[in-house]
């Protein structure tokens, strides 16, 4: 089984990135062939600062390695190091219906938030499909709100196969329902676009300040509270094990436990769980040549697969 995920270097990675995309694939990296790429071309739809893109690309790689991605088990690479993705994107685009792209939620959402309607933004799902299909991926871990991207990929692959012959597998979305949507500080999905994130490796003082700003209701301290309606609890349970989660749930239900207590507990468990990752990241940052070596080795492995897939697609359409 081949599993693939990509993360945009469009800014500092946050808790939503970690629990929504990074941790699921790190936890399962030994279950099959795991491909993880830094999605630089996708980031270009919003990042137009070359230095910022370079730095964010390095940071994404550092963050993945610090959090436990093992280059001996997983293939970590930069999207830009596998140029075959662009030719495949064009081959897929010639069979992709305009209406399919026009219906994509992500495009409409970005337009609603004021992003310019560029071709890159509109054709984003075709490049994403190329990313997935180039490696003949079986599963793609995504949040529930991104399931449509995999469905669009399946539609494009099916259209290509129908038109030119069987070339691509139809990938399946892998959705961990317990972490399908990570709440931000304001209750919306945690996203850089909404400015409601907590950085994965933020300074602890900044993390604590952000946690204390999480919006809660006005239930008095002494009254019982509904843990399932509280975003502080939703974030706490991401870090906690089963026993810790249940203990926190009982604190809410018993009463006499305020949101301030819950926020303090959230900060403490974050500190405890992230400490080893911080140490590992600092060690890696001191030896950037090791990170670069992992990325280059990953690109070689990725290109070996990409060339085979692209060759099959070229034969199918008559470009061999």
Neighbours of 109 (CB within 10 A): 12
140: helix, strand or coil: strand
Query: Does the annotation count 108 as an active-site position?
Result: no
Helix H segments across the chain?
15-17, 23-27, 40-43, 50-66, 84-93, 98-102, 105-112, 119-122, 124-133, 147-164, 204-212, 231-239, 242-254, 259-285, 288-317
Query: Does the annotation count 110 as an active-site position?
Result: yes
226: helix, strand or coil: coil
Query: Does the annotation count 23 as an active-site position?
Result: no
Catalytic option among 189, 210, 225, 263:
189
In this structure, are residues 309 and 92 in contact, taking their beta carbons and an 8 Å threshold? no
Catalytic option among 73, 169, 192, 264:
192
For the chain, the maximum distance between any two Cα atoms, rounded to a whole number of angstroms, is: 73
Catalytic option among 23, 110, 225, 264:
110
Neighbours of 120 (CB within 10 A): 13
Residue 246 phi, psi (nearest 5): -65, -40
Q: What is the signed CA dihedral for 180, 266, 30, 127, rounded to 10 degrees?
A: 40
As annotated, the active-site residues are 110, 189, 192
């Amino acid at each position: 089984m081949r599993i693939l995920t990509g993360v945009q270097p469009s800014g500092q990675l946050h808790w939503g990135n970690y629990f929504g995309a990074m941790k699921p694939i790190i936890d399962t990296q030994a279950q099959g062939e795991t491909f993880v790429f830094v999605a630089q071309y996708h980031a270009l739809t919003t990042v137009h600062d070359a230095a910022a893109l370079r730095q964010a690309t390095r940071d994404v790689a550092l963050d993945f390695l610090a959090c436990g991605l093992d280059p001996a088990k997983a293939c970590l690479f930069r999207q830009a190091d596998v140029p075959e993705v662009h030719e495949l994107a064009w081959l897929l685009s010639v069979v992709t219906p305009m209406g399919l792209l026009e219906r994509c939620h992500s495009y409409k959402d970005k337009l609603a938030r004021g992003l310019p309607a560029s071709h890159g933004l509109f054709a984003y799902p075709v490049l994403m499909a190329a990313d997935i299909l180039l490696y003949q991926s079986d599963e793609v871990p995504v949040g529930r709100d991104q399931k449509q991207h995999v469905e669009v990929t399946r539609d494009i692959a099916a259209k290509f196969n129908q038109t030119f012959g069987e070339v691509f597998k139809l990938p399946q979305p892998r959705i961990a329902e317990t972490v399908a949507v990570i709440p931000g500080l304001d209750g919306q999905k945690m996203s850089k676009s909404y400015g409601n994130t907590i950085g994965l490796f933020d300074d602890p003082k900044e993390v604590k300040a952000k946690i204390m700003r999480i919006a809660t209701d006005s239930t008095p301290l002494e009254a019982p509270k509904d843990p399932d309606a509280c975003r502080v609890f939703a974030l706490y349970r991401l870090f906690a094990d089963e026993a810790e989660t249940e203990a926190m749930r009982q604190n809410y239900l018993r009463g006499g436990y305020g949101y301030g207590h819950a926020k303090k507990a959230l900060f403490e468990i974050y500190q405890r769980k992230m400490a080893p990752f911080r140490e590992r990241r600092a060690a890696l940052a001191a030896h950037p040549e090791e990170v670069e070596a992992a990325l280059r080795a990953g690109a070689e492995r990725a290109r070996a697969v990409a060339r085979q897939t692209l060759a099959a697609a070229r034969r199918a359409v008559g470009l061999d």
